[in-house]
Amino acid sequence: MSVTVSGVPGVLGGRDLDRLTATVAFLRDRGTGDALAAVVGAEPSACLVRHLEFGRAAVFVASARPAGLVGVLAGLGVDAPEPRPDEVVRGRAGQELDVRVVRGAVGSREVRLLVPRAEMPEAEREAESHVAFRVTDADDVVLRGACATLRDSGLTPDGGGYDGQDTTLCFRGTTRLVLHAPGHHAEALEHHLGRPDQPRRSMLDLMTGAWRTRAVAAAAELGIADQLADGPLDTADLAARTGSRPDKLRRVLAYLAGLGVLGRDGERWSLTEVGTLLRDDVAGSQRDLARIYGGLFYRSFSGLEHAVRTGESGFSHVYGAQPFEHFAANPADARLFEGAMAAGTAFLGLVPGLLDLPDTGTVVDVGGGDGRLLDLVLAAGPGLRGVLFDRPHVIGAATDVLAGHGARASVVAGDFFHDPVPSGADLYLLSRIMHDWDDERCSVILRNVRAAMAEGATLALVERPIQGDPRTLLPLAFNVHMMVNTVQGGERTTEEHRSLLAANGFVLDDIRELPLDMAVLVARAAV
């Protein structure tokens, strides 16, 4: 709601009065669900609405005559008693603010005007203003669930405390939100605020991340998960089966249990749902990923500083060659890389369902590698023909993968930088190609694909776009990974993808989400 009201000289400035007027209207017009939706920016879950009650809004204002605020509220149709004596309220990040309080009733709800004794800039007054909800069932489980739901909705913890009667938990979104729960909920409060030493603890966790990587990689190399596939084993059994020293192995197993990879019952160890992904024989196994991230790429990341300083590949700085040159000279590493890349494509099974496949027509997978994605697309569209286009030394594996589709599938050798892309198809695929190259090289690929397409044909990119939410870390992490391990590669934001496509004859129409922050970017050939 947008309002503009002239201020009340000596009592309240125009901007503060605008916010107060809008807040009173908000209290009158919004139910609990509507108020939550306004703060969260999306429709809240029915469960969250059921356990919360919208009861109050607080507006921080500057006023030389707090007693005059009673008249201001009356002018807005709000009854208010005289200002209360000074009291201390809890602000953001737990700081204490000395304020004069004026309270008014808006139906069954309350508006509070908080007048700081010390000078507070206007931007800070706006940031401290908030809406408050009361937890109707102050059960610990309900409170934890409400907090988790608010965090999942994009709100971040922003202070809190216990005043002897209520536990207060504050969140920051587009508007500050405050939860009040009757009683002392010490565990929920500690989880919300973190420990007193939390900043140092968080930094230590960041600095020791390499230890976690190597512990998981060691478990993968030793085959711990495979040994536990049939059930729990004790330390001595695992040591004997993996050729390890029991006392040393126990330390690593205990660490892995603390990380949630293993379960522990005394000296007996079992697999968790997470740890099962290290088995070699399960669908979606990430064992090879663990081995390469904790081995080959672990070592290449020691070249990160070199890459930042020089713009050169960290991989080539460490190994003396670019990745594919290194793999050509080291077959064991090449096999590991192929296994890791296969593990990293478990999400591909979901791609055909996001493509709006026609009943008939042709699909061309440009740079389709081993043919797995095209195989999945042809299985989902039995009336389609498929063409895989890739370099001559790559297509051998694709020929074997696509053999089951008979005459519906064909393989064409070529280089998407230099050779004509097969023309006239209804749908073109570029899966995890763009992130390998800079804009100039990607433009060459896109122009070659566009030249093969009729107007209105579809191009689907499978990529991991960088999102606006900084807590979505995987695209940011892989952006650094590509910088270290390629010469020109990197992830792009959605807008960077949009601009790159537009510059080369495409219009980005839709973005369809996949697991692990991957996405299908659907574009069409423009005029």
The residues that are catalytic are 435
Of the candidates 240, 243, 238, the one whose C-alpha atom is nearest the C-alpha of residue 253 is 238
Give 53's contacts (C-beta < 8 A, 6+ positions apart): 32, 133, 134, 136
Distance of CA 489 to the CA centre of its chain: 21
With b for 16 or more beta-carbon neighbours within 10 A and e for fewer, the 311-326 pattern comes to eebbbbbbbeeebeeb
Contact between 400 and 375 under an 8 Å Cβ cutoff? The reply is no
Dist. CA 173–CA 171, nearest whole Å? 7
Reduced to 3 states (helix: H, G, I; strand: E, B; else coil), residue 271 is strand
- Give the orientation angle of helix 439-452 with respect to helix 494-502, to 10 degrees: 50
Contact between 69 and 113 under an 8 Å Cβ cutoff? The reply is yes
Contact between 107 and 28 under an 8 Å Cβ cutoff? The reply is yes
DSSP-assigned letters across all residues of 207-241:
HTHHHHHHHHHHHHHHTHHHHTTTS-EEHHHHHHH
CA atoms within 13 A on the CB side of 150: 30
With b for 16 or more beta-carbon neighbours within 10 A and e for fewer, the 407-430 pattern comes to eebbbeebebeeeebbeebbbbbb
Neighbours of 286 (CB within 10 A): 21
Backbone phi, then psi, for 8, in 5-degree steps? -110, 110
Of the candidates 425, 410, 366, 427, the one whose C-alpha atom is nearest the C-alpha of residue 391 is 366
